[in-house]
């Protein structure tokens, strides 16, 4: 079974949280062990306290972490005191906390302790205290203790980003077996949904549908930027806009389709400018609406040269750098069966093209390194 799922997902098993939904943040208490006391009479040194270590596991979710230890407390063992029998006290036992790959660990003050990106990767999050020795008066020292936040970022292939009501969940439902909630009001989706798109050759691609983003998300309007963390590790951004634009309510201005794209550009950039460098597919939805295509042809070229329209916007809406799309599609997620197939094929095509380009770049780099190595062996050192 594991072998089959490996084959389907380009050699990598699909992470369980991609299938089963997930908790994406969890607070736990961690405490490193106290060092054992030294033995002044013999100059004996106490054992070091054990550490609390997080270990990456592809096959688990944060819900599994909760289930495996409901108290959410992880206490490492204390070091043993130095004694006549053990002049060097044995160290305390370390505690290993298995977490899903993709977890970052933060203190309550927001300091990042590190992240886990690979299977079996380890990170010490609470160090045990040193044992007692002559320089600390032979008294063992307490280990680090605090609460930490385990923050999971999705590692889906594609991230769906757009204003609320654009039809992101409708598209996810159409291309995968996911059953997200769909409704004609903003913020229907309140937490990410994952769908797996399966192709005829059984290749599978994971797509994350995120809660809608509105202007001012960077100052926590709407659902805020909170969910954009989940697109940081996706390989492709699928940006979706409603051809009819968006209006949050009557108190707010109506934004045209082009406005929403410029505003998304601004919000993505404010969250993390590096997101702009990812491959991007622009999908304009609800083409079945009245004059849909006419509206689309009026803005198509502007979408492809987004930077050229920035001058029309006030400074607070203007992004620094324009989004450059790999392609722009006009679809009806609700009505267009052919459109859905087109989106599926385009996603696959872009992921393949970029994966190939990445591979070529890596090969070039390793060839360059091996040439440099052989030159270094023969002649004067190159740096």
Ligand X SMILES: Nc1nc2c(ncn2[C@@H]2O[C@H](COP(=O)(O)OP(=O)(O)OP(=O)(O)O)[C@@H](O)[C@H]2O)c(=O)[nH]1
Binding interface with ligand X (CB under 6 A): 162, 164-170, 182-184, 186-189, 211-212, 285-286, 288-289, 332-335
Closest approach of Mg ion to the CB of residue 299, in Å: 23
Q: Which does 332 bind (CB under 5 to 8 A by kind): Mg ion, ligand X, none?
A: ligand X
DSSP 44: B
Q: Which does 86 bind (CB under 5 to 8 A by kind): Mg ion, ligand X, none?
A: none
- Asked if 285 touches Mg ion (CB under 5 A), the answer is no
Give the residue closest to Mg ion by C-beta.
189
- Gap between the Cα atoms of 85 and 99, Å rounded: 38
Site string for Mg ion, 177-206 (x = CB under 5 A): -----------xx-----------------
End-to-end CA distance of the chain: 48
Nearer to ligand X, 39 or 154 (CB): 154
Phi-psi region of 98 (alpha: psi -120 to 50; beta: other; left: phi over 0): beta
Cβ count within 10 A of residue 222: 19
- Gap between the Cα atoms of 174 and 344, Å rounded: 10
Nearer to ligand X, 15 or 286 (CB): 286
Nearer to ligand X, 94 or 165 (CB): 165
Q: Is 355 within 8 Å of 309 (Cβ atoms)? A: no
Nearer to ligand X, 50 or 180 (CB): 180
Q: Is 154 within 8 Å of 94 (Cβ atoms)? A: no
- Alpha carbon dihedral 38, 41, 44, 50, in 10-degree steps, equals -20
Tell me the torsion sign for CA atoms 331, 336, 340, 341. Answer: negative
- Gap between the Cα atoms of 356 and 343, Å rounded: 20
Closest approach of ligand X to the CB of residue 247, in Å: 13
Can you name the residues that pair with 195 across neighbouring β-strands?
Answer: 207
Closest approach of ligand X to the CB of residue 67, in Å: 29
DSSP 218: G
Nearer to ligand X, 124 or 329 (CB): 329
Q: Which does 35 bind (CB under 5 to 8 A by kind): ligand X, Mg ion, none?
A: none
For the chain, counts of helices (H) and of strands (E): 7, 14
Give the residue closest to ligand X by C-beta.
212
Nearer to ligand X, 183 or 355 (CB): 183
Q: Which does 225 bind (CB under 5 to 8 A by kind): Mg ion, ligand X, none?
A: none
Q: Which does 184 bind (CB under 5 to 8 A by kind): Mg ion, ligand X, none?
A: ligand X
Closest approach of Mg ion to the CB of residue 336, in Å: 18
Of 152-171, binders to Mg ion (CB under 5 A) are 169
b/e map 253-267, b = 16+ CB within 10 Å: eebbbbbbbbbbbbb
Q: Which does 289 bind (CB under 5 to 8 A by kind): Mg ion, ligand X, none?
A: ligand X
- Gap between the Cα atoms of 182 and 337, Å rounded: 18
Nearer to ligand X, 164 or 319 (CB): 164
Residues that bind Mg ion (CB under 5 A): 169, 188-189
């Amino acid at each position: 079974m594991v072998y089959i799922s490996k084959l389907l997902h380009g050699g990598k098993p699909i992470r369980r949280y991609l299938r089963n939904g997930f908790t994406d943040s969890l607070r736990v208490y961690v405490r490193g062990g106290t060092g054992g006391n030294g033995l002044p009479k013999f100059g004996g040194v106490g054992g070091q306290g054990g550490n609390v270590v997080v270990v990456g596991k592809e096959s688990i979710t944060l819900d599994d972490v909760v289930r495996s230890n409901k108290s959410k407390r992880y206490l490492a063992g204390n070091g043993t005191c130095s004694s006549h029998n053990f002049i060097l006290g044995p160290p305390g036992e370390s505690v290993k906390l298995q977490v899903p790959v993709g977890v970052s660990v933060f203190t309550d003050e927001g300091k990042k302790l590190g992240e886990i990106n690979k299977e079996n990767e380890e990170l010490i999050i609470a160090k045990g205290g040193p044992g007692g020795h002559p320089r600390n008066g032979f008294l063992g020292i307490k280990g680090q203790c605090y609460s930490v936040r385990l923050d999971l970022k999705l590692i889906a292939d594609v991230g769906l980003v757009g204003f609320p009501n654009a039809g992101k969940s409708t598209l996810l439902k159409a291309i995968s077996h996911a059953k997200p909630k769909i409704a004609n009001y903003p913020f229907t989706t309140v937490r990410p949904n994952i769908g797996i798109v399966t192709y005829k050759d059984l290749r599978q691609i994971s797509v994350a549908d995120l809660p809608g983003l509105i202007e001012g998300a960077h100052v926590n309007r709407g659902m805020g930027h909170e969910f954009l963390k989940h697109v940081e590790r996706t390989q492709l951004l699928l940006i979706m806009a409603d051809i009819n634009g968006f209006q949050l309510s009557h108190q707010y201005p109506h934004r045209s389709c082009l406005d929403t794209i410029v505003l998304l550009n601004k919000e993505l950039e404010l969250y993390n400018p590096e997101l702009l460098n990812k491959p991007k597919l622009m999908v304009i939805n609800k083409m079945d609406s009245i004059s849909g295509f006419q509206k689309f042809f009026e803005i198509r070229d502007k979408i492809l040269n987004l930077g050229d329209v920035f001058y029309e916007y006030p400074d607070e809406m203007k992004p620094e750098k324009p989004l450059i799309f790999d392609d722009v599609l006009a679809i009806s997620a609700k009505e267009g069966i052919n459109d859905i197939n087109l989106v599926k094929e385009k996603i696959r095509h872009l992921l393949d093209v970029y994966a190939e380009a990445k591979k070529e770049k890596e090969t070039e780099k390793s060839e360059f390194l091996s040439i440099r190595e052989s030159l270094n062996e023969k002649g004067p050192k190159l740096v």
